[in-house]
Amino acid sequence: MKNLIIGALILIGLSLGGQSAQAAPLGLTTEDPTIEASFAVIDFFEFSPGEGDLSTFSAAIDFTSGTSLASPATIDFLGSFSLSDPAASPFGFLDIFDVPNDPFAFPEVLLSGVLIDVGFASDKIELLFGSLTGSVAGEFGSQVLMSVFFDDQLGENPFEALEDGESYTASISISKVASIGVVPLPAALPLLVTAFVGLGLIRRKP
């Protein structure tokens, strides 16, 4: 009987672990200010096996809400990731520039940030930026969440579908992070719990 209970617990743990591994969104709540670019070209380059860069440059902002930032302005970002575990040690930046009327003038940095975390869901990658600077940084608090919505169907984990040297079309949304969301349950935790329970039952067996 105890062996049946142990087997059932292990199956439940495997089921829960498999479900949580399908997608790993950051689970953050956002609010205005919001900046959007309805069209962007996202480039991917694999600079070494299992390591890649995702970037876009000069994506035109065509919607804003709750901010003094006004068009014309553009979005640049670059992120470097481990494709097997994108959140392990991401590196990158976000820059939003105005587009000056004078072609000889330097663009103003409206918002700039450093990549600190990565999440993903179906056909979407989430990039969390902190250490914000720029002329409108005060409107966005301490962190912003950038969501990249791919036009291509890349599946539950877009990082697994990215191909070296390919360009993808997408839309971009950047919003202030209102609060830290609930940390997703690690995929391995249910397995660890059931293992300890199983060991406890075995040790108690006469």
Cβ contact 171:19 at 8 Å:
no
Give the model's confidence band at 1: pLDDT under 50 very low, under 70 low, under 90 confident, else very high: low
Assess if residue 194 is contained within a domain. no
CA 151, 152, 158, 164: dihedral to nearest 10 degrees? -110
Q: What is the pLDDT of residue 127?
A: 97
Say whether pLDDT at 155 is over 70. yes
Assess if residue 90 is contained within a domain. yes
Assess if residue 8 is contained within a domain. no
Instruction: Report the interhelical angle of 189-204 vs 2-21 (nearest 10°).
Output: 170
DSSP letter for each residue of 188-206: THHHHHHHHHHHHHHHH--
Assess if residue 2 is contained within a domain. no
pLDDT in tens, 9-49: 444 444 444 433 346 899 999 999 999 999 999 999 998 88
Quote the number of domains for the chain: 1
Q: Could you give the CA distance from residue 109 to residue 134 in angstroms, rounded to a whole number?
A: 5
Give the residue carrying structure tokens 């349950």.
Answer: 185
| 141: containing domain | 30-180
Assess if residue 19 is contained within a domain. no
Give the residue carrying structure tokens 């663009």.
Answer: 107
Assess if residue 111 is contained within a domain. yes
Q: What is the pLDDT of residue 52?
A: 94
Give the model's confidence band at 101: pLDDT under 50 very low, under 70 low, under 90 confident, else very high: confident
What are the φ/ψ torsions at residue 180 (nearest 5 degrees)? -80, 125
Q: What is the pLDDT of residue 179?
A: 65
Q: How many other C-beta atoms are found inside a 10 Å radius of the C-beta of residue 24?
A: 21
Which residues have CB under 8 Å from 77's CB, separation 6+?
A: 55, 56, 92, 93, 94, 95, 127, 146
Assess if residue 1 is contained within a domain. no
Give the model's confidence band at 200: pLDDT under 50 very low, under 70 low, under 90 confident, else very high: low
Say whether pLDDT at 61 is over 80. yes
Which residues have CB under 8 Å from 206's CB, separation 6+?
A: none
CA 165, 57, 34, 186: dihedral to nearest 10 degrees? 30
Give the mean model confidence (pLDDT) for residues 183-204.
48
Q: How many other C-beta atoms are found inside a 10 Å radius of the C-beta of residue 76?
A: 15
Nearest to 54 by CA among 142, 115, 109, 99: 115
Which residues have CB under 8 Å from 130's CB, separation 6+?
A: 113, 114, 116, 142, 143
Break the chain down into helix, strand, coil percent, rounded to 5.
20, 45, 35
pLDDT in tens, 160-182: 999 999 999 999 999 999 965 44
Give the mean model confidence (pLDDT) for residues 120-132.
96
Q: Could you give the CA distance from residue 202 to residue 52 in angstroms, rounded to a whole number?
A: 45
Say whether pLDDT at 7 is over 90. no
Assess if residue 52 is contained within a domain. yes
